[in-house]
């Protein structure tokens, strides 16, 4: 079967049997070996990739479900040879042996796309489907928090420049309010402390 | 095992009518097609090499099987709705909070993005987390085959351990949840080995309706304590006509412990399950009091 999809932003046509796992299509057919296999049964999250923006276990997805989809793997996180803020943050203790790391990164990436300032309980829930036998999770949670902080700081650093422009065009005032409201909305609505994962 | 996956055939028809026809035609032949939704159950078996070589019928692309819609009789949830959608759907959250809650406890994020409600029903594990909720909410299941649809009450859906009234030529099309009665409190609680991604040792869903201070209707449904998800009428009766008091709750719990007969298995023991199930009923009543 011929499958048309976007992988890390590039359009691909892949010839693959339909019931082969997305994990094998990525690793073996496309040679994107960043995505790992741990358990092969949905438990460990090492094989996590983003399918149309959502994290899924690629060991449980048939290749035919990638038809027309957009897929992001760990190879798609860095831009022009530069690690993403999340990858940078994981370098400081968030990764040890590294087998869980690609999956952790993708699950965390999905979270940060939805929520720019996640609380610890929210991070732990978002990563509950990813097992790590090395770090004890604390450094991983810290890395996600750190990446969120760095990303927010970078966005804030960009903002004044834009505001200046806007203020130059139209008279100052007014326009700032919606921006503030948006930032407030981004705060997580719920925190599910009870769900914090014990490994 | 991976070599085997590369030999499997998938049938993918452009719409629901043709999909239903393909299923019905194959059901009479030597190789009945096996419906495939999110694949979170199927691929666990496939990867373990635990299934015979079969042909699959893909449902995933059928948008006719998606959507949560408001109808005069209640809310209709279509087969392919994932638990990720159900946990955040505004209508589900408002009208059936127990279902939104249960959805948020299925597996973890990655599973919720793929696992569908019809897959949970059709897989039929007595530990399926949405099942006690559907039972407590008096759900009706719409089955379709090419020739005709039919509706069956969820309380008569299962006939035994992982067997149901669904004929191999039928698809689960949707689930109708009647509007909850005024004054109804819904409760859901799952007890597993750890908080996330654990198969339930005991799972409970209840709906308790109180009018003028007395219980007029109660549904107590449990998973993982029998071959199928079960309601416990004797415990429900203990609450009927009563005020919600600790005494009524412990009487319901006592009757419940008398009427269920869980087993020892790899996840838990019968004794532990009995104790937990009784306690969960007390917690459900305490919750309804709030
Ligand atoms: C790691 C992991 C954790 C899990 N955790 C939980 C949990 O906490 N709670 C829980 O309840 N479950 C859990 N599950 C089980 C599974 O995710 C659910 O049962 C899920 O709802 C199945 O849906 P699916 O769409 O993936 O089904 P599929 O795997 O596609 O199909 C499952 C079965 O249903 C049949 N089927 C699917 N759709 C239809 C239809 N429309 N009509 C007729 N037949 C159909 C298929 O033929 C198959 O027999 C877990 C699974 C994994 C791998
Ligand atoms: S390899 Fe897919 S979840 Fe473990
Ligand atoms: S770093 Fe080794 S398993 Fe997570």
pLDDT of residue B163: 97
Q: Is A94 in the same domain as A131?
A: yes
The pLDDT tens digits for B223-233 are 999 999 999 99
Which residues from chain A sit within 8 angstroms of residue B107, using beta carbons? 42, 129
pLDDT of residue A22: 98
Q: Candidates 3.60.20.10, 3.30.465.10, 3.40.50.2300, 3.30.565.10; correct CATH number of B63-178?
A: 3.30.465.10
Which of A20, A56, A64 lies closest to B110 in CB terms? A56
Q: What is the mean pLDDT of residues A116-140?
A: 97
**A31 in a structural domain:** yes
- Cβ pair B125, B160 in contact under 8 A: no
The pLDDT tens digits for B10-65 are 999 999 999 999 999 999 999 999 999 999 999 999 999 999 899 999 999 999 99
The residues spanned by each domain of chain B are 2-58, 63-178, 184-289
**A152 in a structural domain:** yes
SS3 A63: helix
pLDDT of residue B155: 97
CA–CA distance, B90 with B41 (Å, rounded to integer): 27
Q: Do B197 and A59 touch (CB under 8 A)?
A: no
pTM: 0.91
Which of A1, A45, A197 lies closest to B110 in CB terms? A45
End-to-end CA distance of chain A: 40
Q: For residue A178, is pLDDT > 50?
A: no
The residue written with tokens 């299925």 in the block is: B106
Confidence tier at A163 by pLDDT (50, 70, 90):
low
The pLDDT tens digits for B99-132 are 999 999 999 999 999 999 999 999 999 999 999 9
- Cβ pair A56, A49 in contact under 8 A: yes
Confidence tier at B159 by pLDDT (50, 70, 90):
very high
Which residues from chain A sit within 8 angstroms of residue B195, using beta carbons? 128, 194-198
Q: Which CATH class is domain B184-289?
A: alpha beta
Q: Do B39 and A60 touch (CB under 8 A)?
A: yes
User: What is the domain-level CATH number for residue A10?
Assistant: 3.10.20.30
Q: What is the mean pLDDT of residues B68-77?
A: 96
Q: Do A19 and B114 touch (CB under 8 A)?
A: no
**Which residues are A82's β-sheet partners?**
A79
Task: Report the mean per-residue pLDDT for chain B.
Answer: 95
Q: For residue A76, is pLDDT > 80?
A: yes
CA–CA distance, B152 with B20 (Å, rounded to integer): 18
Q: What's the gap in Å between A146 CA and the centre of ligand 1?
A: 36
Nearest Cα residue to B107 out of B37, B40, B50, B45: B40
Q: What is the mean pLDDT of residues A120-131?
A: 97
CA–CA distance, A156 with A159 (Å, rounded to integer): 5
Segment 68-127 of chain A within 8 Å of chain B by CB: 107, 110, 125-126
Q: What's the gap in Å between A45 CA and the centre of ligand 2?
A: 5
pLDDT of residue B264: 86
CA–CA distance, B138 with B205 (Å, rounded to integer): 12
DSSP B74-109: EEEEETT-BHHHHHH-HHHHHH-HHHHHHHHTSS-H
Query: Residue A8 belongs to what domain range?
Result: 1-76
Q: For residue A180, is pLDDT > 70?
A: no
Tell whether B259 lies on the interface with A, counting CB pairs under 8 A.
no
User: What is the domain-level CATH number for residue A114?
Assistant: 1.10.150.120
Q: For residue B152, is pLDDT > 50?
A: yes
Q: Is A119 in the same domain as A47?
A: no
pLDDT of residue B266: 86
pLDDT of residue A104: 98
pLDDT of residue A179: 41
Ligand 3-lining residues (CB < 6 angstroms)? A 95-101, 132-135
Q: Is A91 in the same domain as A64?
A: no
Q: Is A62 in the same domain as A95?
A: no
The pLDDT tens digits for B231-251 are 999 999 999 999 999 999 999
In the sheet that holds A10-15, the strands lie side by side as: A10-15, A2-7, A70-72, A48-51, A54-57
φ, ψ at B161 (rounded to 5°): -60, 110
């Amino acid at each position: 079967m011929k499958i048309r999809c976007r992988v890390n932003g590039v359009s691909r046509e892949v010839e693959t049997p339909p019931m082969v796992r997305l994990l094998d299509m990525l690793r073996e057919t496309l040679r994107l070996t960043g995505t790992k296999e741990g358990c092969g049964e949905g438990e460990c999250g090492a094989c996590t990739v983003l399918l149309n923006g959502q994290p899924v276990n690629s060991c449980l997805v048939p290749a035919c479900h990638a038809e027309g989809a957009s897929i992001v793997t760990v190879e798609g996180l860095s831009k022009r040879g530069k690690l993403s803020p999340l990858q940078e943050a994981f370098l400081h203790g968030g990764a040890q042996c590294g087998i869980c790391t690609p999956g952790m990164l993708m699950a965390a990436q999905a979270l940060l796309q939805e929520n720019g300032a996640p609380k610890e309980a929210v991070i732990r829930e978002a990563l509950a489907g990813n097992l790590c036998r090395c770090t004890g999770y604390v450094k991983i949670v810290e890395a996600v928090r750190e990446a969120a902080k760095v990303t927010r700081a970078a966005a804030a650093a960009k903002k004044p420049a834009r505001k200046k422009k806007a203020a130059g065009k139209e008279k100052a005032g007014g326009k700032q309010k919606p921006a503030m409201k948006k930032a407030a909305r981004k705060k997580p609505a719920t925190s599910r402390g009870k769900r914090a994962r014990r490994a | 095992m991976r070599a085997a996956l590369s030999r499997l055939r998938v049938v993918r028809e452009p719409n629901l009518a043709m999909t239903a026809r393909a299923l019905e035609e194959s059901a009479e032949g030597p190789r009945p097609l096996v419906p495939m939704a999110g694949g979170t159950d199927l691929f666990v078996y496939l990867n373990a090499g635990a299934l015979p070589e079969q042909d699959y019928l893909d449902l995933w692309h059928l948008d006719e099987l998606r959507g949560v819609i408001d109808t005069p009789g209640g809310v209709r949830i279509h087969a392919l709705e994932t638990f990720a959608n159900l946990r955040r759907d505004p209508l589900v959250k408002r009208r059936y909070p127990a279902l939104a809650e249960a959805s948020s406890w299925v597996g973890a994020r990655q599973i919720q993005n793929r696992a569908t409600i019809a897959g949970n029903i059709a897989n039929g594990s007595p530990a399926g987390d949405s099942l006690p909720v559907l039972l407590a909410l008096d759900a009706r299941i719409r089955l379709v085959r090419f020739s005709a649809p039919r509706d069956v009450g969820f309380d008569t859906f299962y006939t035994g351990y992982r067997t149901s009234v669904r004929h191999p030529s039928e698809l689960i099309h949707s689930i109708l949840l009647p509007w909850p009665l005024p004054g109804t409190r819904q409760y859901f609680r799952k007890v597993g080995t750890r908080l996330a991604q654990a198969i339930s040792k005991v799972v409970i869903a209840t709906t308790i309706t109180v009018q003028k201070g007395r219980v007029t209707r109660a549904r107590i449904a449990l998973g993982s304590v029998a071959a199928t998800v079960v309601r416990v009428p004797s415990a429900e009766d203990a609450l009927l006509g009563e005020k919600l008091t600790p005494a009524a709750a412990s009487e319901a719990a006592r009757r419940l412990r008398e009427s269920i007969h869980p087993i020892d298995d790899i996840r838990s023991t019968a004794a532990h399950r009995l104790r937990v199930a009784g306690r969960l009923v007390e917690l459900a009543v305490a919750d309804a009091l709030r």
